[in-house]
A = this chain, B = another copy of it.
Amino acid sequence: MEVFGREGFHAASTRSLSDAAGVNQAAIGFHFRGKEGLYLAVFEHIAERMRARVGLIAAELVSGLSAADAAPNAPDLYLEALGRLTDTMIEIMTHSESEPWARLILQEQQSPTPAFDLLFDNFMGRLLGVMTMLVSRLRPERDEATNKLAVVTILGQVLAFRAARAGIQRHMGWSDFKTEDIASIKAMVRANVAAQIRG
């Protein structure tokens, strides 16, 4: 995952892949039938880890939802849940640990291979679905398509910190994302989401 993410599919040689794993180059052919098989296996790995992580959040959130629906301050609860989601996503996008697999996902977004289906079905679709559920409860009078589009613009605000990382850091005058920077990003996105939901 690290080698593919750092060097890209083509630039990553089977030798650097096997070296990083501490095994011989021939092991790739034996275990994964070739470089491409290893690439797909990496995405299966990412998809499963993400599925577990998102699945946990989604389950927790959906169970909390039925309680929130009855509460008198339901909108506040929905908004808080959305805020916790964006906080988590910002944490992930700004953290350097996400770099390898984030690069892989971005590549797949531009020219999807069968690996993209794995990602979307296991976690992206699920995550977008949960967010849409929340936004739809906050703005039930709007049609589904509008709320789905609203979710996309929320996603974009957090995604930028991965996809346009170098440009953002140069624009902000940041050399990397410090704890206080991340805090102000979270606050800004929470405020934006609250405002755009309010309409």
Name A's B-contacting residues (CB within 8 A). Answer: 6-11, 99, 103, 106, 108-112, 116, 120, 124-125, 128, 145-146, 148-153, 155-161, 163-168, 170-172, 184-185, 188-189, 191-192, 195-196, 198-199
Contact = CB atoms under 8 A, between A and B. Distances in A.
A147 to B, nearest CB: 10
Given A156-B158, A156-B160, A199 B191 contact: yes
B199 A195 contact: yes
A109 B164 contact: yes
Nearest to A198: B195
For this chain, the copies found in one complex come to 2
Contact of A149 (B125, B148, B151, B185): B185
A148 B163 contact: no
Contacts of A108: 166
Nearest to A6: B111
Contacts of A109: 163-167
